[in-house]
Amino acid sequence: PNIDVITAMEQGFIQYSNDQAVVPPVGELLFENPKGEAHIKYGYIQQTDYYCIKIASGFYDNPKFGIASSQGLMLLFSQLTGEPKAVLLDEGKLTDIRTAAAGALVARYFAPKDVKAIGILGTGTQARLQLEYLQKITSCRKVWVWGRNAANAQQFKTEMQGELDITIAETPAEVAQHCNLIVTTTPSETPLLQAEDVLPGTHITAVGSDTATKQELASDVLAKADLVIADSIAQSKSRGEIYRATTDKKLDVNRVVELGVAIQNEDLQRTNQEQISVADLTGVAVQDIMISQAVYINYLNAQN
């Protein structure tokens, strides 16, 4: 569908930070055997027509069975009557897209002016989508990718190159040595990047860590950063990179700025090209509200 998802995310984050959204805490189920998780995110934006309930899961052994690790659906209801309006059986695709669009939105406001190369940690669906959506924001086509699995990294390169000049890195540190715009998209529970790896002027968007146990950036990375941005300050108190860094006493929580606030205030964005910025995206229900509503309205318009 022809929907400007990046703009939809921007509007959603602004309304969220301006207290126009009602977003209860995330419901969460963690599974051990096989390893997986299910997240329930729900909420509404005041003075709009719908509310949304989303269930999204990640089961990390799924690719072995030829099934995507992301699964789930979105439910859209009338805010006026409570009637169910749409069941979006998207198998997690809308979650993947809204996450990638949020990454692009963050890059629009926080990436350095001159992107030397884009670094991607991870080789899955989200890694691909982040790279795809970043191409709408930056003209840079030079990419370094790292994955835990060499065959997956090779496959990523084969499938994504064409427009892009992709180099496979041996380590996450090698990615950071060559790139000043980095996106991390893995379910890692041990840090992949250390503070000394990160060059001045780098922006990092951390996407993978959305529970209390996941961590892709050493807490020192956030300590070193000049700008630390959360998609949701409330959620960053219990999950994600900011949670880990504050728990480790490396980051003062008062330094964290919420994305929707920073978008509306240039003084809270990058003020020089030497600054290091980190955006921690744990995923907010307002994104699901915006994308499910956009898809449904798009569908209604197509009917007329």
**What residues are annotated to the active site?**
54
Other Cβ atoms within 10 Å of 138 Cβ, number: 17
Q: Is 241 helix (H, G, I), strand (E, B) or coil?
A: helix
Q: Convert 272-299 to b/e letters by CB count within 10 Å (16 or more is b).
A: eeebbbbbbbbbbbbbbbbbbbbbbeee
**Is 292 within 8 Å of 88 (Cβ atoms)?**
yes
For 146-164, give the DSSP string: E-SSHHHHHHHHHHHBTTB
Is residue 297 within a helix (H) or strand (E), and if so which, with residue range?
A: helix 285-303
Other Cβ atoms within 10 Å of 93 Cβ, number: 16
